[in-house]
Amino acid sequence: MHYSLFDTAVNGWLIGEGLLDIHGGDQIGLVVETGCRYFSELAFPDKVTAGIRVARLGTSSVRYEVALFRNEEEIAALKASSSTSS
């Protein structure tokens, strides 16, 4: 479930910024490496907020870092990084 939230955060940001067209675009991204660190539990009915940043921008790859925050807490419950190649 957590990786689904990470994927939704990254793709939502890309779509919102006009960088990914899931209906008519030619570009796809492949996750080639991923990792996650757990700091505290997330559970239903927690409100989950995702923070995302581009940690590294290469010529054919991007490394994203995503943090999931529970119930508007200031300390992340989970942090993940993933490298995507196009």
Query: In this predicted structure, what is the pLDDT of residue 86?
Result: 65
Domain of 38: which CATH number? Answer: 3.10.129.10
Dihedral sign, CA of 20, 21, 25, 26? positive
The string of pLDDT tens digits covering residues 15-36 is: 999 988 989 888 888 888 889 9
Residue 31 CA neighbour count, 13 Å, CB half: 14
Number of domains the chain is built from: 1
pTM over 0.75: yes
Domain limits at 18?
2-85
Closest CA to 78 of 64, 67, 70, 65: 67
Average pLDDT over residues 52-71: 92
